[in-house]
């Protein structure tokens, strides 16, 4: 996902989920990242960092974490 963060850094914000998904499709993100993006809330995102925080809270991301 670090590569996608760089892509988002080059985009103009605010962006909604559908716009983020369109950017991800244009840049060919992997299936795992696409699944996570589909799960972020549909709201305006103010910057790339805001998107990254939302991605870290998706069910797909949380399910992939290893318990302590």
Mean pLDDT of the region 49-60: 94
What pLDDT score does 62 carry?
Answer: 84
Residue 38 reports pLDDT greater than 90: yes
Neighbours of 14 (CB within 10 A): 11
Which helix H or strand E contains 51, and what residues bound it?
helix 48-56
Residues of the chain with pLDDT > 90: what percent? 78
Whole-structure pTM value: 0.88
Residue 14 reports pLDDT greater than 80: yes
Between 3 and 1, the higher pLDDT residue = 3
């Amino acid at each position: 996902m670090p590569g996608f963060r760089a892509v988002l850094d080059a985009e103009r914000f605010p962006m909604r989920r559908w716009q983020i998904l369109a950017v991800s499709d244009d840049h060919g993100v992997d299936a795992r990242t696409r699944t996570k993006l589909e799960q972020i809330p549909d709201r305006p995102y103010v910057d790339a960092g805001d998107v990254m925080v939302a991605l870290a809270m998706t069910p797909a991301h949380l399910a992939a974490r290893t318990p302590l």
